[in-house]
Amino acid sequence: MGERGREGCCPPMDLMRSEPMHLVQLIIPIESAHRTISYLGDLGLIQFKDLNAEKSPFQRTYANQIKRCGEMARKLRFFREQILKAGFSPAVRSVTEADLNLDDVEVKLGDLEAELVEINANGEKLQRTYNELAEYKLVIQKAGEFFHSALSSAEAQQREFASNQSGEESLETPLLSEQEMTTDPSKQVKLGFTAGLVPREKSIAFERILFRATRGNVFLKQAVVDNPVTDPVSGEKVEKNVFAVFFSGERAKNKILKICDAFGANRYPFSEDLGKQAQMITEVSGRLSELKTTIDAGLVHRGNLLQTIGEQFERWNFLVRREKSIYHTLNMLSIDVTKKCLVAEGWSPVFATKQIQDALHRATQDCNSQVDAIFQVLHTREMPPTYFQTNKFTSAFQEIVDAYGVAKYQEANPGVYTIVTFPFLFAVMFGDWGHGICLLLGTLYFIIREKKLSSQKLGDIMEMTFGGRYVILLMSLFSIYTGFIYNEFFSVPFEFFSRSAYSCRDLSCSEATTVGLIKARDTYPFGVDPAWYGSRSELPFLNSMKMKMSILLGVAQMNLGIILSYFNSKFFGNSINTWFQFIPQMIFLNSLFGYLSVLVIIKWCTGSKADLYHVMIYMFLSPTDEIGENQLFPGQKTTQLVLLLLAFVSVPWMLLPKPFLLKLQHDRHHGQYAPLPDSEESLQSESNQDSHGHEEFEFSEIFVHQLIHTIEFVLGAVSNTASYLRLWALSLAHSELSTVFYEKVLLLAWGYNNVIIIIVGIIIFICATVGVLLVMETLSAFLHALRLHWVEFQNKFYEGDGYKFYPYSFALIDYEEE
């Protein structure tokens, strides 16, 4: 396997094969290790291996530095929460580490955190006091109204009683005689009371529990507070009622206090003297005004502090993340026996060799180190990671392939063909140039605003849609193309390129739905003639055309998959697979389904009425019988016999030779089973060959494996070909749904000649088109195209058992969540 070197910082992209990789070893002096890893992180072209995998995170060299960075990251998360809570946002600007030192930043973050925590604590304390005083003021006002109304009612009753007395009595006359007023002091009842606020939603239960606990020996008075009150404990707005409870005795008082605590009722001291109440309201109002001024000043100071933090937040955050990643990478390096150098190993692309060496040399010079870092390539049989250079256009298509499995190192990449075949197969199922234009307009919105949207946090669905905007762009363009071929615009055919080539049989017919059509003009130049959609006699031919086209596309794509398996075998130098896998597979597939595709094309070109179902069935059941009226070309019978014989021969050709050749190869190597690497044996198995080279050769296992592979291909050739009929089925379903919405909704509403019905019909038509055809049908066609690529196409050649190249790069950690 040869490797091609490349130079330059921007090598051309090669999506067909992954970038050539090599395992490199770096020997870095300890004094320049930090700067070296920093420069390599800026470069982002090396994936380090963990040489201390047996050590726990706490046993590694730079565990304390990572702990420091973690503590600083915690403080930064605290700052971010406080900034967002205050309604600010961190300033977005280009982040650099110029003029920033980690030790200085650590001290600065510690001071700012202590100051902010103190400000928050003082602010919370002042706010709680303010909320308590606000509640206290409400209690004084509302409970004072209880006493004032009670006093007014008592005075009114006294005046009424006085007016009913004899003339010689006056208000100064005692109500009771001196003898009546002289009673036993032990029998006097002294009433107590408590006042406060209780949540309104608990007020009914509060009253009921008080009544039951005291057996009705209380008097409760409540008043509704008009506006929600800020609760001093929770700090939330709560609707509350002011209450006053009158009771007698210490036992009743203790029960009432416990019930108040259980219901979250805040109690406040209160005087029944009206003069003291007015004085208390004045004092509380003054304290509230002072607290308001103090709280506002504290909020201004806190806002200024948070704004100052926000201006530097991104720089500090980037520095902390950067330093943490550097120390985490340094922990993956091993220390040599002299404890003066760090040894690193990692994978890098071959073209990046010069850039890595330049970064090492620059780091040595900047640190004034006397010893330069050493760069050397290691020879290994371990399978390298897979690295495809992609851009914003090709990355989404590569992700579609990687979702199935990452390509093995240097394996043929299906992503190259997926760029064209995936949107095209989607369009075959979705073909309608009206719907395609709608998709195109939606996609252009994402593409035009991609710079702005890429810097925003989108929802999950919007994020996926935005990431696949170029996939949807090609899907919409291909849908417009196939829509012109199908001649469908929201299910309506148009004479877009010329007039229809067909007309009625006679002048008396008004439509051709029952009597058929005759050709009166030249053939419609592009796509399906619009007259086919109005003719019952031609509509089955339209569906038949889509069905046969699905078979042609399926056979073509499966042949492409087998050809790619040949290139894989040739690239890895495996001649056994070339002769005993690629050739018999091509013969078997094309002897049956390739021949069927040729018959379809011949029938289209000649206009023959031959029944292809009959031809293919009796090709197996009665291969020697005469074809008769189903003959499409001279010598067809002989051709079918030869193809049938080749199909039967290709099955044992795939099954038998390869196991025996592998056994001969084993015997030739004195008992060592050392097959050449191919598309079925990865480089990882090569690396295991040294340690397992003397294992016993199990011929039965090899034979059973080949038998399974042969059966899978033979059955898969039939099932996969049938699976491509989903192209026809989805296209038919999409067309019929469009027709139903157009005829049964839009035209039906239009026929009523009523403005309201027409508007409602148009709204329903738009909603059905967007919801069903542009969303659900798009998703359905997307998933079916995905299945055709993953199963029917990629299983012919693609293993997908590799692993991605994840280089150490600061660009990948800028927005990484902790």
Mean pLDDT for the chain overall: 84
Residue 545 class from Cβ within 10 Å (0-12 exposed, 13-18 middle, 19+ buried)?
middle
Report residue 94's pLDDT band, with 50, 70 and 90 as the boundaries: low
For 375-407, what is each residue's pLDDT tens digit? Answer: 999 999 899 999 999 999 999 999 999 999 999
**What DSSP designation does 474 have?**
H
Q: Which residues contact 814 (CB under 8 A, 6 or more apart)?
A: 95, 318, 321
**What are the tokens at 267?**
């109690």
Tokens of 537: 């006699």
Check whether 257 has a pLDDT greater than 60: yes
Q: Which 3 state secondary structure label does DSSP give 377?
A: strand
Residues 6+ apart with CB under 8 A from 236: 230
- Report whether pLDDT(140) > 80: yes
Tell me the pLDDT tens digit for each residue of 755-794.
999 999 999 999 999 999 999 999 999 999 999 999 999 9
Confidence bin at 677 (pLDDT 50/70/90): very low
* Residue 351, pLDDT above cutoff 80: yes
The token pair at 48 is 């380090």
Strand partners, 328: none
CB atoms within 10 A of CB 700: 8
Residue 312's Cα: distance from chain center in Å?
30
Pinpoint the alpha helices (H) of 331-414: 353-366, 395-404
Sequential DSSP letters for 69-129: HHHHHHHHHHHHHHHHHTT----------TT--HHHHHHHHHHHHHHHHHHHHHHHHHHHH
Q: How far from 159 is each of 137, 164, 171, 178, CA to CA, in Å?
A: 33, 9, 8, 22
Looking at residue 681, what DSSP letter applies? Answer: B
Model confidence band, residue 338 (pLDDT cutoffs 50, 70, 90): confident
User: Helix (H, G, I), strand (E, B), or coil: what is residue 625?
Assistant: coil
pTM of the predicted structure, to 2 decimals: 0.77
What CA dihedral angle connects 194, 196, 200 and 206, to 10 degrees?
-30
Range with the lowest mean pLDDT among 356-365, 673-682, 748-757, 804-813? Answer: 673-682
Q: How far apart are CA 267 and CA 273, in angstroms?
A: 18
Type and span of the H or E element at 553: helix 539-571
pLDDT at 176: 44
Burial tier of 81 (Cβ tally within 10 Å: 0-12, 13-18, 19+): exposed
Closest-CA residue to 776 (of 809, 818, 729, 737): 737
- pLDDT recorded at residue 461: 87
Q: Pairing state of beta strands 191-199 and 334-335?
A: unpaired
Mean pLDDT of 582-602: 93
Which residue in 594, 613, 505 sits closest to 556, CA to CA?
Answer: 594
Across 343-352, 504-513, 783-792, least confident range: 504-513
> Residue by residue, what is the 3-state secondary structure of 189-235?
CCEEEEEEEEEHHHHHHHHHHHHHHCCCCCEEEEEECCCCEECCCCC
What burial class does residue 570 get, using C-beta atoms within 10 Å of its C-beta: 0-12 exposed, 13-18 middle, 19+ buried? middle
Q: pLDDT exceeding 90 applies to what percent of the chain? A: 45
434-464 pLDDT, tens digit per residue, is 999 999 999 999 999 988 888 788 888 888 9
CA separation (Å) from 460 to 465, 467, 812?
Answer: 9, 11, 20
- Whether pLDDT at 552 is above 90: yes
Close Cβ partners of 734 (under 8 Å, ≥ 6 residues apart): 429, 430, 431, 432, 773, 777, 781
* pLDDT value, residue 737: 92
DSSP secondary structure letters along 685-724: HHHTHHHHTTSPP-HHHHHHHHHHHHHHHHHHHHHHHHHT
Say yes or no to pLDDT of 236 above 80.
yes
